[in-house]
Amino acid sequence: MTPENTQQINGNTGDMDPEEFRRHAHSVVDWIADYFQNVDQYPVLAQVQPGDIAARLPEQAPEEPEAMERILEDFDEKLLPGMTHWNHPAFFAYFAITGSAPGVLGEMLAAALNVNAMVWRSGPTPTELEERSLDWLRQMIGLPAAFRGHIQDTASISSLVAIATAREEAGLRIREEGMSGRDLPRLRLYCSEEAHSSIEKAGLTLGIGRTGTRRIPTDSQFRMDVAALEAAIEEDVAAGWKPFCVVATVGTTSTTSIDPVPRIADVCEKHGLWLHVDAAYGGSAAVAPEMRWILEGCERADSLVTNPHKWLFVPVDCSALFLRRPERVKRAFSLVPEYLITPEGASATNLMDYGPALGRRFRSLKLWMVLRYFGREGIAARIREHLRLAREFAGWVEAAPGWELVAPVPFSTVVFRRHPDGATGEEADALNERILERVNATGRAFLSHTRLRGRLSLRLAVGNLRTTEEHVRRAWELLQNEAGNV
């Protein structure tokens, strides 16, 4: 036991001494700076098996205080090996992201302030900075001024809040009277078969049920088939369902396809349905003016989610939900018990009114720091580079015999597969699975997969600020080598 710990046991019931904090904080900051510099030295995908990390940890919580030096040593030795490094430049799986340095600084300060911005007076700056920084983001991606944004932790919750609001707007008084034991029509939510699972999860959380979420077929480029949507709505109405909401996706998870939002908006307007746009990944691209077209028609949406923690270099978690008429969310969610009534009343925004959560972290600080540090031009330049790298990679795949692109590449994600001449679909699936396993096992790159029309494909997503053309080239060489070895 170190002297400072002895002191801690002998009657110290407070926090760490400020000077001790300063010392450890400096070493942690040094650790972070070294990590950013050398992150490519780690295996991208954690090279451990399920249970390996838990086996290193004591089953009982510590009885006595421990020295921070010792705790930090264990962080390095016991925990770090179980980390998959999302900040690694060869992280190409899922949607690659960046916890950028300005964002990390914002997180550090937010942790120190430890504010809970549930009502305005409990966090005037977090409340007003959230509104201002999201209005900057709104302008950057070209949404009209009518949209007002607030921050949720993830896109899953943003979409849940949007769809819950849509359900309330359907006029069935569900907020007041609930859904059980009442004579209600069955509600129907629509999205494409390529929509993210979070939409169906919102449906199951909100009592719509999995069968209440109708997945609409897609065209040859994995975009929602609008004629099929319209036919489904008409069929449902005739059968007694109550359609209430359509979710369009700008940048689907598997292929980054873009649903035809203007035509979907026409259908929603005709049938009086809420239009929610899931642009969790794709929305950030609109910061580059030449990519604004991806949000065409979104000005007619009732709500839109985009995730600064995906492709806007803000550390997880930070999801921006924009609403064309924010008072509707408030109508669905606001519930103010006596102990949360404040003298400011309606003259101030209370963030607790905009979703199910009461407590709010100060997430806008990291967003504000990222937006200021890089600026719109800087963000656009970085996104442009990621788009370029993805196009480069797609070009190599297209030119290589025995490989094929499986979907168009509108953003920075390439969906492709090995398909040697003469191989059956099943043989090619097995081959791609083996290639993926072997590439990921090297620890030198990490890719993920998807299944399209029943066939397995590989995905390479560029989204990390440290990724260069060299990293993409090396990933391609690795894929080709491993394809030669299976």
Positions touching ligand PLP (CB under 6 A) are 95, 154-156, 196, 198, 249, 251-253, 278, 280-281, 307, 319
* Min dist. Cβ of residue 193 to ligand PLP (A): 13
Identity of the residue, 68 or 155, whose beta carbon is nearer to ligand PLP in the bound complex = 155
* Min dist. Cβ of residue 160 to ligand PLP (A): 9
Quote the CA–CA distance of 486 and 484 in Å, as a whole number.
6
Question: Cβ atoms within 10 A of the Cβ of 202, count?
Answer: 28
* Min dist. Cβ of residue 44 to ligand PLP (A): 18
Quote the CA–CA distance of 473 and 90 in Å, as a whole number.
10
Identity of the residue, 155 or 275, whose beta carbon is nearer to ligand PLP in the bound complex = 155
Name residue, tokens 């002297």.
3
- Give the E-state strand segments of 172-237 in sequence order: 187-192, 213-216
Name residue, tokens 């983001």.
137
Three-state secondary-structure class, residue 287: helix
Provide CB contacts within 8 A for 312, sequence distance 6+: 137, 284, 287, 306, 367, 370, 379
Question: What is the Cα gyration radius of the chain?
Answer: 24
* Min dist. Cβ of residue 65 to ligand PLP (A): 36
Provide CB contacts within 8 A for 408, sequence distance 6+: 221, 255, 257
* Min dist. Cβ of residue 278 to ligand PLP (A): 5
* Min dist. Cβ of residue 194 to ligand PLP (A): 9
* Min dist. Cβ of residue 372 to ligand PLP (A): 23
Residue 275 is given by DSSP the state E
Question: Minimal CA–CA distance to 252: which of 228, 226, 280?
Answer: 280
Question: Minimal CA–CA distance to 411: which of 295, 237, 271, 265?
Answer: 295
Identity of the residue, 196 or 328, whose beta carbon is nearer to ligand PLP in the bound complex = 196
DSSP letter for each residue of 232-255: HHHHHHHTT-EEEEEEEEBS-TTT
Identity of the residue, 249 or 349, whose beta carbon is nearer to ligand PLP in the bound complex = 249
Identity of the residue, 99 or 478, whose beta carbon is nearer to ligand PLP in the bound complex = 99
- Whether the CA torsion 346, 349, 351, 354 is positive or negative: it is positive
Identity of the residue, 133 or 154, whose beta carbon is nearer to ligand PLP in the bound complex = 154
Contact 107, 309 (CB under 8 A): no
Give the chain's length: 486
Contact 446, 91 (CB under 8 A): yes
- Whether the CA torsion 297, 301, 307, 308 is positive or negative: it is positive
Identity of the residue, 165 or 307, whose beta carbon is nearer to ligand PLP in the bound complex = 307
* Min dist. Cβ of residue 406 to ligand PLP (A): 17
Identity of the residue, 197 or 485, whose beta carbon is nearer to ligand PLP in the bound complex = 197
* Min dist. Cβ of residue 481 to ligand PLP (A): 29
* Min dist. Cβ of residue 282 to ligand PLP (A): 7
Contact 272, 307 (CB under 8 A): no
Provide CB contacts within 8 A for 169, sequence distance 6+: 244, 274, 328, 332
Identity of the residue, 91 or 120, whose beta carbon is nearer to ligand PLP in the bound complex = 91
Identity of the residue, 162 or 478, whose beta carbon is nearer to ligand PLP in the bound complex = 162
Identity of the residue, 8 or 98, whose beta carbon is nearer to ligand PLP in the bound complex = 98
* Min dist. Cβ of residue 254 to ligand PLP (A): 9
* Min dist. Cβ of residue 319 to ligand PLP (A): 5
Quote the CA–CA distance of 481 and 320 in Å, as a whole number.
41
* Tokens standing for residue 196: 């993210």
Provide CB contacts within 8 A for 463, sequence distance 6+: 95, 96, 97, 98, 310, 311, 386, 412
Identity of the residue, 265 or 280, whose beta carbon is nearer to ligand PLP in the bound complex = 280
